[in-house]
Structure 1
Amino acid sequence: MPTAIIADDERLMRDHLRLRLQQVWPELEIIGEARNGNEAIALVQEHQPDFTFLDIRMPGTNGLDAAQAIGNASHIVFITAYDQYAVDAFEQGAIDYLLKPAESERLQMTVERLKARLKATPTDTSSDLKGMLAQLTHHIGSTTKPVWLQWIQASVGQELRMIPVAEILFFQSDEKYTRVQTARYEALIRKPVRDLAVELDPELFWQIHRSTLVNVHSIDGVTRDLRGRQLVMVKGKSDKLEVSRSFAHLFKQM
């Protein structure tokens, strides 16, 4: 049986990829999971998997550095949320990649390529990686448009869902969890609002309270309660989100 390991610092993303791989390639055995590049390198050395799925952005040793250390000990498949420019860099080398989130149809194409690679010796990707890293560094450093978060991985009951941020009405945190509210359902994640605030496009999501982010397209209006506090009304919902004084300037013209 072909074997693989998955390296991603987000457990929900590892679970999502494992599930998708089971659906499109049930013969593939996932023999280990890593949370960072160092763990991935150690797992490859210990288990010698046929394939290593590496997230590019991981704390400590990232996916690119880990791939250089792994060399030709395993076929490398990068998991990336980068834009098309970066994807073009991957296309230039003998390196496989998946865009986050991994969808079944796209994953099926990758699996067919990986099956063909089982018959070949893993390619030493050192030179390809150096060129790719140089292109990515140049592109990310020169572009004026940041790459904002596009998907939220969240658990709804026992189900893992990949929620497009454009569908989210608001985020609201308490001490342990952050509520992710869409028009159709509610989900919970552990990432606090303070972290989401720097990862989301500030033109799409306004922070109106230290514990609340709201999608500007979901704002139905602003009212005041008897205590004079500003409250944001949400389209299609009964929720009224408090605006703290620090963010009251956002609604000066209202």
Structure 2
Amino acid sequence: MSPITCLIAEDEPLLAEALAAELASAWPDLQLLGVAPNGLAAVEQALARRPRVLCLVIRMAGRCGGDAATALAEDWPDDAGPLPLIVFVTAYDEYALKAFDAAAVDYVLKPVQAPRLAQTVQRLQARWAQRQSLPPTDDPLQALQRLLAAHAQPANATPKLRHLQAAVGDAIELVPIDALLYLEAADKYVRAVTADQDYWVRVSLRELLPQLDPERFWQVHRSTVVNIDAVARAQRLDNGLVKLSLRGRPDTVMVSRVHAARFKAQ
């Protein structure tokens, strides 16, 4: 049986070293793959090395642990097996519930204490044993991927929009849906991009999606929807992503692995 591997994501070297030492003591058979120095590196290294366990610090440079976990759930390759078992490491107890909401196995507080980490190791080992006995389709983290993919297919029963109402100074401008090249989520707003101008609309992308024609507006990332009629070229990249070039604007739009299969040669 291949060893269970672990990647640590921590931007403070001394804390990363301490966590690695405590993990080695609590779980001698665990194979440490290394330490990612920030959230972006955590996603890149996890996708490249495919650890079985991932220890993510909530607050760190480059991308917070929660965002890194979400990005992994979206970009994890279909042929890579189940997503890593995630443990969040935080100095703030209020992040505990958020950790479990993000499908983490457990969380530990900084500075990591050996007795508490031993409990986490027991939970990881139990979850790993459970995962080995379940069919792949029953894995709860694989279910998260299916949920992300399902959001790309909004219900057809909802009436479709013809215009977006965007605030421009003291006025409200009606932006024709046909003029949109792509939409990008940004906190409580959506950035609506046309060939000539960007508009900010106070609505969430989740609310907006069911009101768009799914034949024309494709979700290509958890935060991006593109008007397929505006796509001039789709380029497949070595890392499994797809880069879209648009008609009438120099912007490029990235397609995550979850949605990349929609762009293939006929």
Place the TM-score, normalised by the shorter chain, in its bin: 0.3 to 0.5
TM norm structure 1 = 0.46
What's the TM-score once normalised by structure 2's chain length?
Answer: 0.44
